[in-house]
Amino acid sequence: MSEGLTKKQMKDLRKLEKMQSKNLEQKNSNMKWIAIAIVSALFLAMFIAIIAVAKNKNKPVTSDGSAKFAQNGHDKMIGVTSTEATNSAKDSKQTLTLVEYADLQCPACRSYSPIVNQLLEAFPGQLKLTFKNFPLTNIHPNAMDAAIAAEAVNKQGKFFEYIDLLYEKQGEWAALPNPDDKFASYAKEVGVDTAKFTEDLKDPEIKKLIDDHRNEGIENGVSGTPTFFLNGERINTPPSIEEFKKLIVDTLSKNNNSGKLKSTQSPQNAVTTAPDQLPLQQ
Amino acid sequence: MPSLNSTVINFLSTITLLGQILASGLIIILILNKTDPKNKVIKKVFNIISENYISFILIISAIATIGSLTLSEILNFSPCKLCWYQRIFMYPIAVISFIALIFNESRIKKYILSLSIIGLLIAGYHILLQFLPNIFECSDEVAKCSAVQFASYGYITIPVMAFTAFLLIILVSLFGREK
């Protein structure tokens, strides 16, 4: 190829090639820095957004740190009837209310269900559970159907028997593409009228109630399940029943000493407030 | 006012749709460049992509990385196992192409292609799982793989987005010229 060229010509040719490639590199380098700048800016924006969201989550929901409960949940208290349980809080200042936002398909809620039941047994007449639906439909495809089934059973007054059974048999129905038959058989097992149960499943009010529960939870800063509120204060879910008991004993003694409840606004009012007072959507 | 969730989902779905149109365009250019090598316009487009292929790969993988992190961290969709596997093959592409650009390294095709082909296969499997959940099984206690969080335009789900991104990266790498 280069046989006919003198040394000088060869040198010039090489110089020219070098310049051309440098030119090309310069062009590419512009594109390259644009790409690097765009991507760096995007990542920076994302980190700021994530930090902002995380900060928002940790913020107390209301100024005094207590949540607002406008929706009626399902009340359970040992040693009294369910109506008495609902009314107990306003009659006695010695009563604590534990609000639980739960997803029936969530394995953690399942593990906490016996703990909560033991707590209620341990504080008869003093501790009231208010169960609220918080189905995580993004990750638990059957959670909404389970909540609907439980609410349908509730119309025949067997709510807590039914959810205990649902938790116990969670492994059977959680992965089913269509769990309806299972839900019907569990309903039969707790002794409700299956014809009425099937009819109640279609009730649009049930779906609305569950959505109201969930929206209230979102307003109160709930993002996962189970989330507990003890007398209106969100608590970090205690890792064991002993610590849970200690927390309740401490709160009870604090209430006894102070003579009056710290947060009279909630949740004592919550159970007596009409359900149509929805928290404002923002 | 539309919620943050639907705004983000619509935005990502639109980008995915544009990505799919772009992917078809890239395939056409690749074919035309082979069948009609003398066409000057095709040649020019081919060369632009070919010279800057790492920049394009960086932008595509960065969008996929940020999009997936937004879905999990800001919209709180829990990533399932398969989503994590796709992330494992997507995130390094962003890092590798970023570092390659800064240090003027152009010989990274083999890494990009191997990561993105594996990612594409996982995303493909995940799409099958979503649309035929009874045939392909995957059980995950925390997050179910076959759960469809949303489906914009009737078919764009999260793995479809990942599939599109991996496909784009593979196509752009095929253009790539290693110096």
> Which residues of chain A neighbour B56 with C-beta distances below 8 Å?
35
Cβ atoms within 10 Å, residue A180: 15
On whether the pTM is more than 0.80, the answer is no
State mean pLDDT over A231-251. 83
Probe site for chain A from B1, B53, B66 (most A CB atoms < 10 A): B66
| pLDDT reported for residue B144 | 64
| Among B72, B173, B179, residue whose Cα is nearest residue B115 | B173
Check pLDDT > 50 for residue A253.
Answer: yes
| pLDDT reported for residue A269 | 38
Counts for chain A of helices (H) and strands (E), in that order: 11, 5
Contact across the interface for B55 and A46, Cβ inside 8 Å: no
A:B CB pairs within 8 Å: 66
Higher pLDDT pick, A274 / A233: A233
Query: Residue A146 in contact with residue A159, Cβ under 8 Å?
Result: no
Query: Residue B117 in contact with residue B111, Cβ under 8 Å?
Result: no
List the 220-259 stretch of A: residues with Cβ below 8 A of B: 223
Contact across the interface for A139 and B73, Cβ inside 8 Å: no
Is A108 at the interface with chain B, CB within 8 A?
no
Ordered alpha helix ranges (H), chain B: 4-35, 40-51, 53-69, 81-102, 109-131, 158-175
Distance of CA A78 to the CA centre of its chain: 26
What's the pLDDT tens digit per position in A106-142?
A: 888 888 888 888 888 888 878 888 899 888 887 788 8
| pLDDT reported for residue B55 | 92
Tell me which residue in A24, A39, A138 faces B78 most closely, judged by beta carbons. A138
Decide the pairing of beta strands A96-102 and A127-133: parallel
State mean pLDDT over B126-143. 68
Cβ atoms within 10 Å, residue A25: 13
What's the pLDDT tens digit per position in B70-122?
A: 888 888 777 888 889 999 999 999 999 999 999 988 889 999 999 999 999 99
High-pLDDT (> 70) share of chain B, %: 91
Is A42 at the interface with chain B, CB within 8 A?
yes
Q: Looking at this protein, which amino acid is placed at residue A277? A: Q
State mean pLDDT over A28-36. 83
Rounded mean pLDDT of chain A? 77
What's the pLDDT tens digit per position in B47-80?
A: 889 888 999 999 999 999 999 998 888 887 778 8
State mean pLDDT over A266-270. 40
